[in-house]
Amino acid sequence: MPHLHIKEFKELALPAVQDGVAFNFIAQNVNHMDEKLISTTVEGEDFFLLVKEEENRSLLKTDKLTRPASIYNVHRALLAYANAAGLEVIASNVPEVQKNVHLQEETALKKIEYFANSFPTDKEVRIEVGFGSGRHLLHQAANNPDVLFIGIEIHRPSIEQVLKQSVIQKLDNLLVLDYDARLFMELVPSNLVGAIYVHFPVPWDKKPHRRVISTSFIEEARRVLKVGGTLELRTDSENYYAYSYETFIAFNKTVLHINKNKDIAVSSKYEDRWKKMEKNIYDLTMINEEESEALEIEGDFSFENSKLTLEDITVLNDKTFRFDGGFIHVERVYKTADGAMLRLSMGSFDRPEHLYVLINDGVVSYYPEEPLKSRSNLNAHKQLSEILNG
């Protein structure tokens, strides 16, 4: 992760702009005085820089929760703050380089709001979850120009590699998203998708709740797939294969095709390595045979003004509120010049949303963006509104 080790952190008078980077406000962790967040805007992307003050030096890096898809914008923000505040940099892994020419041309990278506000429905959609090196995704997009491919990935170098290749190969039927695929599926329109690819997901043997394949994911896949559409799992993990088979077969009605060591048109470098090691590859394909009802989600994420004082808000730190179908956990409380900010995890237990909520002069809003509009998040929002209304 890009970062700067600095001799001493210095606060700027905010708001301020340096080298095209806007610094908006600072939030101070009320329980840990060695942690601050700096609200930052670069090329329309809003995120936090994180300050961790250590003995004899401080660390300045990007906040993991809000970090933008563009690593280049993170580099710009870190260097701009250091220059504006006159920080003495002890060590750095941030290059002072220009943005890659292909990344300057790319238009494929989208934010979740693009899909939430107006999901593209004019052609068949296929989704790849965790595209890694992008070999399979790029191959499919190049060979199926009339299909819209959506690639979902959270590994930044992989994202940038696919974005560069999409420009080089002039692919106009490929969109890329940095987001939790389990949450993304909840806003995909019903009966639209021709195929969902889940190739070599992390097995998460010690943390099975983090696996992509789950009962709820399969339910959403069945809803978004058109009749004849497929959900394709490909894995080298016998444990993941066995777990997934049991999860699929538990449905009252399902059609599954199983293959072992099947050759496909394009494989990843890791798959090539595993084949040389004579490791088994398992394919499990679910075929959807039923049309689903249209997706309808009612509600919004507006708040009434909060009546809580800063003391009331501070007391919420580390509290968990459970309700039917979900929860809200207040991970941290911050103080700002105009009020307070909460860092939350909320929504359903198996696929929670992680976000910030600003409370400035009683006005409450999500920052830097609203949660995904899903039933579980809307339910959690209703509970949060009641908590903040006192």
Distance, CA of 256 to CA of 325 (rounded, Å): 29
Tell me the pLDDT tens digit for each residue of 181-225.
998 998 899 999 999 999 999 998 888 888 999 999 999 999 999
Tell me the pLDDT tens digit for each residue of 105-141.
568 889 888 898 889 999 999 999 999 889 999 999 9
Strands 125-129 and 193-199: parallel
Identify the DSSP state of 188: S
Tell me the backbone φ, ψ of residue 233, rounded to 5 degrees: -100, 130
User: Where does the chain have alpha helices with state H?
Assistant: 71-85, 101-105, 112-117, 135-143, 156-168, 181-184, 215-224, 238-249, 269-276, 310-315, 375-388
Residue 103: the pLDDT is 52
Residue 119: the pLDDT is 93
Using CB atoms within 10 A of its CB, is residue 137 exposed (0-12), middle (13-18) or buried (19+)? buried
Tell me the pLDDT tens digit for each residue of 285-312.
999 999 999 988 889 999 999 989 999 9
pTM value surpassing 0.85: no
Q: How far is CA 389 from the centre of its chain?
A: 29
- Contact status, residue 357 vs residue 385, Cβ threshold 8 Å: no
Distance, CA of 335 to CA of 29 (rounded, Å): 6
Tell me the pLDDT tens digit for each residue of 305-358.
998 999 999 999 999 999 988 999 999 999 999 999 999 999 988 788 999 999
**Two structure tokens written together for 309:** 């004082």
Paired residues of 353 in beta bridges = 346
Give the chain's end-to-end CA distance (angstroms, integer). 39
Residue 81: the pLDDT is 96
